Amino acid sequence: MRKPLIAGNWKMHKTINEAIDLVNGIKRELLDFESADIAVCPAFTALSSVWEVLINTNIKLGAQNLYWEAKGAFTGEISCDMLKDCGCYYVIIGHSERRKYFHETDETVNKRIKAALASGLFPIVCVGETLEEREGEKTISVVKNQLQGAFNGFSNEEVDKIVIAYEPVWAIGTGKTATPQQAGEVHAFIRGWVRENFSDAGAGSIRILYGGSVKPSNIKELMNEADIDGALVGGACLDADSFVSIVTNSI
Ligand code: PEP
């Protein structure tokens, strides 16, 4: 039985004080909530302050990116140890905005996952097609290529520590959600791909989140799909009430 995971990607929003307010609002309502795993992923600047609010709670901290080298002359980058130092447990890797605006590739996604796993961080790896790719009926081949690139060289034990987020690019921040059936089909493909390339047990236990305009009003029907194990939430996680409702409606 896979425990649902609801993770909030705060993107480039919230100053430190705003982040503290938001996480306090979430903590107030979800402190005793055990039916789903919960994570918040603030901007780098707010990680430490949010961690101070979350220490010894059921809510995990995640970062939105990392750099694979351990240290050195890499101006502007953040290492795994730095993230762990701030209290991070999860790290989002390969978000479509990173791929689109910052030219991340499947190869650099792979390096990031490798570094995260080696340091003990749990990666949330994003894959998903653009609207053009969906309309060209390339969804499955695009997702398959992204998975092959991202998971290249990993063992079954490593794959067990990874969370996958299927995020159709056309549904991110657009208000357009994939239908449960559209999402369910891709999730089933992803689970089958893990089974074929790794193991039955790994396919059974890996969590595959859906991301793309998830709201309190649509999480339930998405979660009814057998292969959807939770959500990576963008816009709707920036308000405590809305994020809390997504979490409570997810089970
Ligand atoms: C995201 O950025 O991962 C995301 C899913 O955003 P939104 O929920 O706003 O579509």
Query: Residues 97-127: pLDDT tens digits?
Result: 999 999 999 999 999 999 999 999 999 999 9
- Given phi > 0 = left and psi -120 to 50 = alpha, else beta, which region is 120? left
Compute the residue count for the chain: 251
Q: Whose CA is nearest to atom 6 of ligand 1?
A: 234
- The residues with which 92 forms a beta bridge, in sequence order, are 124
| Set 95, 97, 187, 225: catalytic member | 95
Q: Whose CA is nearest to atom 4 of ligand 1?
A: 234
pLDDT of 246 reads 98
Q: Which residue type occupies 212?
A: G
Domain ranges of the chain: 5-248
- Measure the CA–CA gap between 37 and 21, rounded to whole angstroms: 21
List alpha helices for the chain, DSSP H: 16-30, 47-54, 80-85, 96-101, 106-119, 131-135, 139-150, 156-159, 180-197, 200-205, 219-223, 240-249
In whole angstroms, what separates CA 118 from the centre of its chain? Answer: 18
Check pLDDT > 90 for residue 175.
Answer: no
Q: Which of 11, 99, 167, 219 for a ligand 1 pocket mutation test, highest count of atoms within 8 Å of Cβ?
A: 167
Check pLDDT > 90 for residue 232.
Answer: yes
Q: Is 225 a catalytic residue?
A: no
Please state which of the four CATH numbers 3.10.129.10, 3.90.930.60, 3.20.20.70, 3.65.10.10 is assigned to the domain occupying 5-248.
Answer: 3.20.20.70
Mean pLDDT of 166-179: 93
Mean pLDDT of the chain: 97
User: Cβ distance 165 to 127 under 8 Å?
Assistant: yes
Residue that is written with structure tokens 């999480």 in the block: 219
